[in-house]
Structure 1
């Protein structure tokens, strides 16, 4: 079943009915307010990197750092922001791009210009796109393919098909809210929808190792909604195939 409400994340899941016997049951489903998140991955990061958003002449929005190459922040949907990447002293601008945010999660990928470049080019986010390991994030109780992941998966499918010495490891996770068994199933669905997409794009299914792990191995404590969003994820990793011996 699916439950929707404007401004809130939809609920997709199953209700388990046992021994109803014509009786009326009441179920309470708590919907979480819809969040608009920009997630930025840097293909060639270095220590001391900072990321921030700016709308027109408005104040800067400093992005949260997950690690040297991954930043995210919440912002208002339906607006266009200037995304700025700066060095350790925050005064040297390394790259800029425009980011148009939709409700949900917007994923962007960048490659920084060479360090000896005096005047970095100003390019769009799409121009920085590269095939790399990636973490895809999902709304709570949802396993639909994130729309902003399609460009990445299309490029990944083409690259993997051309590089026969590589394969993929795809692991799905959830936060710890709700029944552990249902969370395991949800993580498996998240993995399956990404695997099916890649196979439909021509990737040999035998070159994909996929598994759902439920709420195991969180990357952040499940103590706040902000942290739980980090755990509702699928990690896509490119791995080397073992060399064949004849």
Structure 2
């Protein structure tokens, strides 16, 4: 391979790696944004149920106000289900949905050397292994008292805490897994370029070119995580 073909091939390889790294970063941002929406939806669900029991006396089973509030709760629960399992080509389900619906973990190979990123699932679907949000009947005789509503409100508080914790876990996992993998992949590829040309010590020109390659890759990776109401945008430089 001549001296012109090798840098071109390295540049192409680095470009492909950039696309894959951005795919991971975009999926993490989308998953985090979904988690934020789920948190807001949980608050609405809690308000629907509190509307029933904060009234004195509480709206009785079968009453128009109670049925309306319970239907609102059910609709919002379904909304969370849809949020955590968006249609293809979204990769978000691999990060946050029920494994029964989106099997497998999130894993992306970054380069021909096998450098890969694998992120842990942060499950926040409404099912038992996710947020564990109960299903409440809307009409008698299934809806026969207030105890299930009190239980559901407690479950919603726990669910909100779970979402907050898993947003943080997603952010930490990305920082611990994806960013080091990106560094390793780009460093290996730019190092391999020099090795393939038989230059044990890079010339000033080659070193400068490699530096530009690495800088270009990292500057193209906006790592944005919205957490606790604030948005943090960082760029690797």
> Is TM-score (shorter-chain normalized) higher than 0.5?
no
Asked which structure has the greater RCO (Cα within 8 Å, sep 6+), the reply is: 2
Larger radius of gyration: 2
Q: Give the number of the structure whose residues are more often strand, by fraction.
A: 1
Give the alignment's TM-score, normalised by structure 2. Answer: 0.22
Q: Give the number of the structure whose residues are more often helix, by fraction.
A: 2
